[in-house]
Structure 1
């Protein structure tokens, strides 16, 4: 009976110990470093880390993949409790392995790739204490070897003392196995298949995209009847080309800022938690895909409306001198670069305002960013395929349609009108655009207007035609009688 009582009491007595172990933080020093000024609450630390799940060993976050350390304020609840408690009294260059139970991590709630109730393993290394000058490291190593000359009876004790600092000094020059595992993602940042918006391959793809996009405008001019002169078409097309470059840079900047992949000083203030901060952020390619999709769909009517508003407002400013100089597509005779510059300023302002409207959509609908991740899930792990689709195939189709539609709005609709231009028809294909413009200028200097000439042609066409030498037509007083007239003719 007494033994049964002991068996029942033993599990109950172990419950507090098990509960304490479940909430206890494990700290193991993997790379010891000696220093005088150690980390404390209130310091701003720059850390390199790699986070894995204890159950499966799956990596869920790593600063090495991003190529820059994570910066935060220690003890300010900007990170999980396990970090605030386990990263105190650290020296720059020191490495630790933190075993963080759920109570000091995310508890019983899912957080991105981290399941509920997970124990987290972090391999961390303190890069620097921001604002604290690094200390010289060789000085503490010299006095350690001085205790070596000791009496023969006490040789075992000093031998341990000598061996221990030697093992401590080795990791400083040679990283341990965990440190090597941490440094490998830094050397191969693109292994995870993350979209790199500013890589060499991305720039090559974007350059080829620009050439093909301009060719779509050339095809549109070739199909026009009448065709615009090359200079007029060049001015119209260049506005879209330069505007697309400006919009492209805005898309990249917006994508990197929105997805947290751009190194800004306030990045840590916007991230109150640590684990799954960057892993939980959408891919920059997803933002770029959505930016482009919105720009080329609902962005077109927004841009047209903004251009009309800006044109009305520009008429009230000294920019409209003369007023026809800011009418889109009208560059004068001969075409003036100053008029093109005025219209380009209005067009670029419209593009930037349209981009602000798109940014507002992302701000008010933050969940829309995950639609891009869902659309790009089939490209995960293959950076070249992902960038080719996001920055070449999809933009080529959408930009071609966008250029085609917007070109109808920015070109001059008043062909041949006052201050406008006349199309180059099929009859004038052999005449160069310079000769055509010079001929039109000479006609206007001589007072001959193309519209007046057309009116004269229409007036002549409306009058009845007359013969050059008209002859009178004999008129008969009586109708033809076949009996009398035929008989008379037979008698003759």
Structure 2
């Protein structure tokens, strides 16, 4: 009796098709818009001397968007196939992707950058597209990043299929949330939004180009120009004051 009641409540909370009904799709669309807006905001938070042109920014962020789409689609497809609450399984998948999955992707990016430098393969050096930027480099990096995202998701999906993991997680529910729509909003929008702000920000830093030593040189140059400008303005004011003094004496 208790088992049947528990199963009934699980279905009542978040049915198998909850992620793919109209309300679920709306939550996912809203999350995508907010996440994209955060990446735009990040660009404007970058210092002016290091701010990427819009084309380079698009090349960097589109890779992240492609990887996020692959992982999200996999989570939406996998979650209803687990035993238990669909929403719980989705958020479990999401949190694992945001931690262990991100670590796997980071390691893959670093390995690709090492191979690019060691074996002179600039096309796979993440964030570097040539001068002028080449679409071929962007496509290669998109394919590589999509492969890394797929590999990370596959590894974590296999981990979640282990019998003892399933036995523990299949009993979880997002208590005390009992309203199906509220539970869906929590797992598809509220939690992912705040986590994605951090994850997208960090991942964007992985994917963008960081030339060694250039940043400090640019900062020094900007600082020097600022001091020079201030000094020039001060000299002009002093010169004007001298002229006024001479005029008064005459």
TM-score by length of 2: 0.74
Matches within 5 A, 1:257-296: 257=81, 259=82, 281-296=83-98
Q: Distance in 1 between matches of 2:3 and 2:117?
A: 60
Pairwise CA RMSD: 3.2
Name the SS for the 2:211 alignment partner.
Answer: coil
Aligned residue among 99, 102, 107 for 1:305: 107
Evaluate the alpha carbon distance shift between residue 237 and residue 363 of structure 1 in structure 2; reply closer, same or farther with a 3 A threshold. Answer: same
Q: Higher strand fraction: Structure 1 or Structure 2?
A: 1
1:244 is matched with which residue?
Answer: 68
Q: Distance in 1 between matches of 2:75 and 2:116?
A: 27
Matched, 1:210 2:32: yes
Unaligned segments of structure 1, at least 5 residues: 1-52, 62-111, 115-190, 260-280, 426-453, 462-492
- Asked whether the 8 Å contact 2:28–2:189 carries over to 1, the reply is yes
Aligned-residue offset at 1:399: 1.2
Q: Distance in 1 between matches of 2:116 and 2:155?
A: 21
Matched, 1:362 2:160: yes
Name the SS for the 2:176 alignment partner.
Answer: helix
Name the SS for the 2:84 alignment partner.
Answer: coil
Name the SS for the 1:377 alignment partner.
Answer: coil
1:233 is matched with which residue?
Answer: 57
Q: Distance in 2 between matches of 1:235 and 1:294?
A: 26
- Asked whether the 8 Å contact 2:28–2:188 carries over to 1, the reply is yes
- Asked whether the 8 Å contact 1:310–1:350 carries over to 2, the reply is no
Deviations 1:4-35 (A, max 9, x none): xxxxxxxxxxxxxxxxxxxxxxxxxxxxxxxx
1:395 is matched with which residue?
Answer: 192
1:327 is matched with which residue?
Answer: 125
Aligned-residue offset at 1:306: 2.4
Name the SS for the 1:298 alignment partner.
Answer: helix
Evaluate the alpha carbon distance shift between residue 59 and residue 361 of structure 1 in structure 2; reply closer, same or farther with a 3 A threshold. Answer: closer
- Asked whether the 8 Å contact 1:303–1:350 carries over to 2, the reply is yes
Q: Distance in 2 between matches of 1:352 and 1:231?
A: 26
Higher RCO, 1 vs 2 (CA within 8 Å, ≥6 residues apart): 2
Matched, 1:60 2:16: no
Unaligned segments of structure 2, at least 5 residues: 229-250
Evaluate the alpha carbon distance shift between residue 352 and residue 314 of structure 1 in structure 2; reply closer, same or farther with a 3 A threshold. Answer: farther
Q: Distance in 1 between matches of 2:138 and 2:189?
A: 29
- Asked whether the 8 Å contact 1:362–1:368 carries over to 2, the reply is no
Q: Distance in 1 between matches of 2:43 and 2:71?
A: 23
Matches within 5 A, 1:404-419: 404-414=201-211
TM-score by length of 1: 0.39
2:146 is matched with which residue?
Answer: 348
Matches within 5 A, 1:23-62: 60=4
Matches within 5 A, 1:122-141: none
Q: Distance in 2 between matches of 1:208 and 1:360?
A: 29
Evaluate the alpha carbon distance shift between residue 345 and residue 414 of structure 1 in structure 2; reply closer, same or farther with a 3 A threshold. Answer: same
Matched, 1:223 2:45: yes
Aligned-residue offset at 1:415: 7.1
Name the SS for the 2:209 alignment partner.
Answer: coil
Q: Distance in 2 between matches of 1:113 and 1:193?
A: 10
